[in-house]
Amino acid sequence: MVRSPRATLTGAIARPRSIDLGLAIVIISAVCSAGFLLTEVGQLAALDQQVRQFESFGADVSDETYTRLRGWTPYRPAISTAIILVGWPVAWLAVAGLLKAAADRAGLGLPRRSDGTPAQRRVTFAQVLTVVVHASAIFAVQSLVAAPVNYARESIGGATSLSMVMPGFGDSTFPARLLGAVDVFVLWWVALVAMGFGILYGTRTLPVARWLLGAYAAGAVVLALTQALRGGI
C-alpha cells in the first residue's frame, strides 16, 4: 500500500479478503499503543491528557478526581488494546457500509468499463470493505511512527498532525487547533480510499477524493471551533 497502492488495491478488489490484513493492522497498532502506555512516560502522558480533557469541558480537577484518574493507570494499556482490537473492525464495517450506501445512492452501483458502458457485475460490500481495510494499512505505519514521537514529546495525540509539520502558530490559536485536528495519515487514508473507489466504480479518483476530503475537512473545522470556543480563540 505504500509503494504500489493502485496495483495492491486492484488485486485486492479482484479477490476480496480483509481478515488477514485487518488482524495484522490491529495487532501492530495495539502493540504500539499498549507498549507506549506501559512506560512511565506513556502513563504520565495519558494522565495529563485526561486532565486536560476534563479541564477543556470546564470541569475542576480536584485532588480526589486526580487520584481517581491516576488509579486507572494500570488498566489503560488493556483498555487501549480492547478499543483497537474491537473498535477498529467495527469502525471499518460502519465506514464501508456508509460509503457503499452513499455510492449506491449516487448511482455508482454498477461499475463502468473503460469505454464508459456499465458492467454486469455489481460492486459488493466485501469489495468496499476490502478497500477500506487495505487503505487502513497505513494506520499501522502511523502507529509505528507515532509511538517513538509521542515518547520523545512525552505526550499523547497530535504526533502525525499537520501542526507537527507546519508549526508557527500559538497553541491556543484557531489555525493551530485546525492543523492539530488534521492528521497526515488520515489524509493518506482518504486518498487511498478514493483510489480504491475509482478502481471499483470505474470513475476518476479526484471527484471521490474531493468529496471525502470535504467531509473530513468539515469535521476538522467543527472540532477546531469547538475547542476554540471552549478555550478562547
High-pLDDT (> 90) share of the chain, % = 42
Mean pLDDT taken over the chain: 83
**Residue 45 Cα to chain centre, angstroms:** 20
Mind spelling out the 3-state secondary structure of the chain? CCCCHHHHHHHHHHCCCCHHHHHHHHHHHHHHHHHHHCCHHHHHHHHHHHHHHHHHCCCCCCHHHHHHHHHCHHHHHHHHHHHHHHHHHHHHHHHHHHHHHHHHHCCCCCCECCCCCECCCCCCHHHHHHHHHHHCHHHHHHHHHHHHHHHHHCCCCCCCEHHHHCCCCCCCCHHHHHHHHCEHHHHHHHHHHHHHHHHHHCCCHHHHHHHHHHHHHHHHHHHHHHHHHHHCC
- pLDDT greater than 90 at residue 27: yes
Task: Give the global pTM.
Answer: 0.82
Sequence spans of domains, the chain = 5-231
More confident residue, 165 or 111: 165
- The pLDDT value given to residue 54: 74
Instruction: Name the least confident of 100-104, 107-111, 158-162, 187-191.
Output: 107-111
Q: How many CA atoms lie within 13 A of 38 on its CB side?
A: 8
Check if the beta carbon of residue 197 is closer than 8 Å to that of residue 99: yes
Distances (CA, A) of 47 to 50, 51, 76: 5, 6, 10
Task: Give the residue-averaged pLDDT of 44-61.
Answer: 78
Residue 228 pLDDT level (bands cut at 50, 70, 90)? low
Which range of 30-34, 176-180, 186-190 scores highest in mean pLDDT? It is 30-34
Task: Give the residue-averaged pLDDT of 13-24.
Answer: 91
Q: What are the tens digits of pLDDT across the range 142-187?
A: 999 999 999 998 888 778 887 766 665 555 666 667 777 788 899 9
Residue 57 pLDDT level (bands cut at 50, 70, 90)? low
- The pLDDT value given to residue 233: 43
High-pLDDT (> 70) share of the chain, % = 82
